[in-house]
Amino acid sequence: MATFKDVKRPLILGPLEWQILEILWHSGTCSVREVVKQLPQERRYTTVMTTLGRLFRKGLLNRARASRKFLYSTRVSVQELEHRCTEEILSRLLSILSSSGTPEVIMGQLVDGLERHDAELFRKALTRVR
C-alpha cells in the first residue's frame, strides 16, 4: 500500500478541503453527514461527499465502509501536510528561479513581499537564515 509520502502528484487543496481536514483532525472518524453538520457554513451533502472522495484519492484520508456509509479519517497529520505543501511551493519557486535569467530579482521580491506581509515572520526567517 502506498504511503502519503509516495504520492507524487501535485497537492493543491481548496478552502473546503482544508475545512474538512480540520474537522477530521479534530473529530477523528466521521461520516459524510457528520462532516456536513460540523462545517461552519451550510454545504450540500453531495458536495461534501465528492470532496471527501477527492481527499481520499489524493491519499489524505482513510475510508472504511460501515454498514451503508463510509467513515473517513485523516491519513496524515497537520504537520505532515503543511510540510508537503511547503515543499511543493518551494520546489515550484525554485524551478521558476532556475529558469529565470534573474533569480536574484525574484528572490528579492519574495523577501520584500514577506517583510511587507508579516514583519514578525520576516524577522524570524532572517534570524533562522543567519
Residue 40's CATH number: 1.10.10.10
3-class secondary structure, 6: helix
pLDDT digit string (tens) for 90-110? Answer: 888 878 777 777 777 777 888
- Is residue 28 a part of any domain in this protein? yes
Per DSSP, the three-state class of 108 is helix
Residues 66 and 122 in one domain: no
pLDDT at 1: 42
pTM above 0.75, yes or no: no
The DSSP symbol for 77 reads: -
**Which residues form the domain of 71?**
4-78
Percent of the chain predicted with pLDDT > 70: 92
Q: Is pLDDT above 80 for 5? A: no
The C-alpha cell of 47 is what?
458536495
Q: Is residue 57 part of a domain?
A: yes
How much is the mean pLDDT over the chain? 87
Phi, psi (5° rounding) for residue 7? -75, 120
Three cell numbers written together for 118: 508579516
Which residues are CB-neighbours of 13 under 8 A, at least 6 positions away? 21, 85
